[in-house]
């Protein structure tokens, strides 16, 4: 039962993370373009930013729940589970910590964007803060991928 | 966004970046240190095994302990120690666990052995995890603390600046006897700002008072020559043997003098309104006042054959009596002056605190942007000074009375929203 629930959480996390990543890339592209080309910050941009932030909060909640589902190292019953677990636990801590920082960056960025008067200013803050969050996200994903291929 | 919030958020951003970078370095170095510690322990155990080899083996070929394996081998094993991470079954709780393994070769006499030493990584991994989590929690706490402490410190440091700002915002040059006084600040930049603001406000006050005095004096001084001109013109008019042409010219001089005098008084009134010299107020029954003024204008109204219809709800307003008079006199006066010469109409309605004075006259809409400006006259009527509506606008602005002009059904309509001056209303 516990492992089924965990699988559901994992699946949800993977799906929402994928959506988040795609959205993140689009938001970043839009922000940088908007900043350089002096575009107008439309209500659609505001909505996208809001959805971006909400998804991140949702991921945080999922992550906290999942972290407590990950098995302790002395509960493993097969070699493959044990091999997987070492890298998974380390990566979970790195990923959780990093994504919390990413969330802080996004939240601060969102506050600046909400209070900025001009579109250029909004896009600039979005580029810097969301850009930072995206770099953090991609870095931790990179660590996970390299860990999977090259071992913990 | 206020100054404190922006500064705090920017400092928090810097703190986030530094703590994050620091965290990465901390995690990597902690992991390295702990792993090194494990390796050091394995090396110490290796030396122990080598020293106690005979006791450990006891004449057996192969030896298996929980954390040590000695296997005879024919292969050429290099004596150099090799470290590796591995997974092993823990025989006590039959669970697979991660271990750090040290493999080395050992020659005892003719025999060669491969020795494997194991150290469970559960504790060290758990230590790394906990240390990382503690550091992470501490970082979050620091970030939040930095944000709030920064706000607190900034608020305290910039206190003098906000006091200056508050004073500048609340300063009203028209309020009499309010002296500018700023506290001395221990921060030199704020002290300089203090001094500059104080000088600026004193200069503004001085200029304002000079301007006020100039306007009052000029207006007063103008009245005297105007009165003399009027007096002399009247005397001239009474001179025996004056021709009708001469009388006409003198009448023109008198009319122009009167107009100039009225203009002078109007300008003085506007100036007094701007200088907040009409602070007293009285309750005025509006329908009564309107009827009384209409009564005063009866001759003019009858002369021009204007029909007046009034629909006045009982309304009391709180206003300076002179300004109340001026407001109504100017609107009513304009309604009469600029009306048709025959069969004109004036409609006065007072309902739900809205006073509407509408009149016929002129088939074109007046220029909404310009009619309330000083000296603007759309009609060619010489009796019009072009300043009446300017006075109306000033009075309305003074008492926050909504003023609007509309041209509909061939009538010029002026609407006043008296809500804020009706009985409970007062000037802000």
Cβ proximity of B62 and A42 under 8 Å: no
User: For residue B348, what pLDDT is reported?
Assistant: 94
C-alpha–C-alpha distance, residues B375 and B372, integer Å: 9
User: For residue B426, what pLDDT is reported?
Assistant: 45
Whether B93 sits inside 8 A of A115 (CB atoms) is no
Residues of chain B with pLDDT under 50: 424-428
CB-side exposure of A68: number of CA atoms within 13 Å?
Answer: 5
Tell me the per-residue pLDDT of B356-407, one tens digit each, with 9 for 90 and over: 999 988 778 888 878 887 766 666 666 666 778 888 888 898 888 999 998 8
Q: Comparing A66 with A136, which gets the higher pLDDT?
A: A136
Q: What does DSSP say about strands B345-351 and B307-312: parallel, antiparallel, or unpaired?
A: parallel
Cβ proximity of B338 and B407 under 8 Å: no
Whether A93 sits inside 8 A of B132 (CB atoms) is yes
Distance from CA of A146 to the nearest CA of B (A): 16
**Token duo for residue B369:** 């942007």
**CB nearest to A74's CB, from B85, B95, B140:** B95
User: For residue A127, what pLDDT is reported?
Assistant: 94
Q: Judge whether residue A18 has pLDDT over 80.
A: yes
**Token duo for residue A7:** 């699988």
Q: What is the ipTM of this complex?
A: 0.82
Q: Please name the residues between 13 and 52 in chain A that touch chain B, using a CB distance below 8 Å.
A: none
User: What number is the average pLDDT over the span A50-70?
Assistant: 83
Of A79-88, A92-101, B27-36, B413-422, the least confident: A79-88
Q: Judge whether residue A112 has pLDDT over 90.
A: yes
Residues of B in contact with A94 (CB under 8 A): 27, 132
User: For residue A34, what pLDDT is reported?
Assistant: 93
Cβ proximity of B414 and B327 under 8 Å: no
Residues of B in contact with A93 (CB under 8 A): 129, 132-133, 136
Q: Please name the residues between 299 and 328 in chain B that touch chain A, using a CB distance below 8 Å.
A: none
Q: Which residues lie below 8 Å from residue A119, measured CB to CB, with a gap of 6+?
A: A34, A38, A39, A40, A41
Q: Comparing A85 with B135, which gets the higher pLDDT?
A: B135
Give yes or no for A111 touching B (CB within 8 A).
yes
**Token duo for residue A142:** 């990179």
DSSP code for B422: B
Whether B96 sits inside 8 A of A111 (CB atoms) is no
User: For residue B15, what pLDDT is reported?
Assistant: 92
User: For residue A84, what pLDDT is reported?
Assistant: 57
Categorize the per-residue pLDDT at A72 as very low, low, confident or very high, splitting at 50, 70 and 90: very low
Count of A–B CB contacts within 8 Å? Answer: 69
C-alpha–C-alpha distance, residues B243 and B151, integer Å: 87
C-alpha–C-alpha distance, residues B387 and A20, integer Å: 66
Whether A76 sits inside 8 A of B97 (CB atoms) is yes
**Burial code of B2-19, b = ≥16 C-beta within 10 A, e = fewer?**
eebeeebbebbbebbeeb
Whether A75 sits inside 8 A of B20 (CB atoms) is no
User: For residue B178, what pLDDT is reported?
Assistant: 56
Whether A75 sits inside 8 A of B98 (CB atoms) is no
User: For residue B428, what pLDDT is reported?
Assistant: 40
User: What number is the average pLDDT over the span A130-146?
Assistant: 84
Q: 10 Å Cβ neighbour count for B210? A: 10
**Token duo for residue B46:** 């290796």
């Amino acid at each position: 039962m516990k492992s089924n629930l965990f699988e559901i959480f994992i699946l949800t996390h993977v799906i929402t993370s994928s959506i988040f990543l795609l959205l993140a890339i689009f938001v970043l592209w839009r922000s940088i373009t908007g900043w350089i080309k002096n575009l107008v910050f439309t209500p659609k941009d505001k909505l996208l930013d809001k959805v971006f932030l909400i998804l991140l909060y949702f991921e945080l909640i999922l992550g906290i729940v999942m972290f407590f589902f990950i098995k302790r190292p002395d509960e493993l019953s097969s070699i493959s589970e044990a091999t997987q677990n070492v890298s998974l636990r380390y990566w979970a801590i790195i990923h959780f910590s990093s994504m919390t920082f990413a969330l802080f960056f996004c939240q601060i960025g969102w506050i600046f964007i909400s209070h900025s008067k001009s579109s250029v200013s909004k896009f600039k803050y979005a580029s810097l803060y969301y850009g930072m969050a995206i770099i953090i996200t991609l870095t931790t994903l990179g660590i996970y991928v390299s860990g999977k291929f090259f071992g913990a | 966004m206020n100054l404190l919030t922006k500064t705090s958020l920017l400092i928090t951003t810097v703190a986030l970046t530094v703590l994050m970078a620091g965290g990465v370095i901390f995690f990597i170095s902690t992991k390295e240190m702990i792993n090194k510690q494990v390796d050091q322990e394995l090396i110490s155990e290796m030396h122990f095994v080598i020293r106690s080899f005979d006791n450990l083996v006891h004449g057996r070929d192969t030896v298996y302990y929980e954390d040590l394996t000695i296997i005879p081998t024919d292969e050429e094993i290099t004596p150099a120690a090799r470290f590796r991470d591995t997974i092993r079954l823990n025989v006590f709780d039959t669970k697979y666990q991660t271990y750090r393994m040290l493999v080395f070769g050992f020659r005892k006499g003719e025999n060669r052995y491969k020795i494997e030493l194991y150290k469970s990584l559960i504790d060290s991994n758990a230590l790394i995890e906990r240390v990382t989590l503690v550091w992470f929690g501490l970082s979050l706490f620091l970030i939040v603390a930095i944000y709030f402490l920064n706000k607190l410190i900034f608020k305290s440091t910039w206190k003098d600046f906000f006091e200056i700002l508050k004073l500048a915002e609340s300063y009203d040059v028209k309020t009499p006897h309010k002296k500018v006084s700023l506290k001395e600040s221990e921060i030199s930049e704020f002290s300089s700002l203090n001094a500059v603001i104080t000088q600026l406000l004193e200069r503004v006050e001085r200029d304002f008072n000079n301007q006020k005095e100039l306007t009052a004096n000029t207006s007063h001084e103008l009245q005297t020559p105007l009165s003399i001109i009027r007096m002399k013109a009247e005397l001239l008019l009474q001179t025996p043997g004056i021709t009708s042409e001469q009388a006409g010219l003198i009448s023109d001089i008198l009319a122009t003098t009167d107009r100039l005098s009225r203009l002078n008084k109007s300008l003085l009134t506007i100036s007094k309104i701007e200088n907040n010299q009409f602070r007293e107020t009285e309750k005025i029954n509006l329908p009564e006042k309107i009827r009384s003024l209409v009564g005063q204008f009866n001759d003019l109204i009858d002369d021009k054959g204007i029909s007046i219809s009034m629909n006045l709800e009982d309304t009391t307003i709180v206003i300076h009596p002179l300004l109340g008079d001026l407001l109504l006199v100017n609107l009513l006066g304009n309604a009469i002056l600029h009306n048709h010469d025959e069969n004109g109409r004036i409609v006065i309605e007072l309902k739900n605190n809205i006073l509407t004075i509408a009149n016929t006259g002129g088939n074109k809409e007046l220029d909404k942007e310009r009619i309330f400006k000083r000296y603007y006259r759309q009609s060619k009527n010489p009796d019009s000074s072009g300043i009446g509506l300017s006075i109306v606008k000033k009075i309305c602005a003074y008492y926050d009375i909504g003023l609007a002009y509309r041209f509909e059904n061939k009538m010029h309509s002026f609407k006043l929203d008296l809500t804020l001056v009706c009985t409970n209303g007062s000037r802000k």
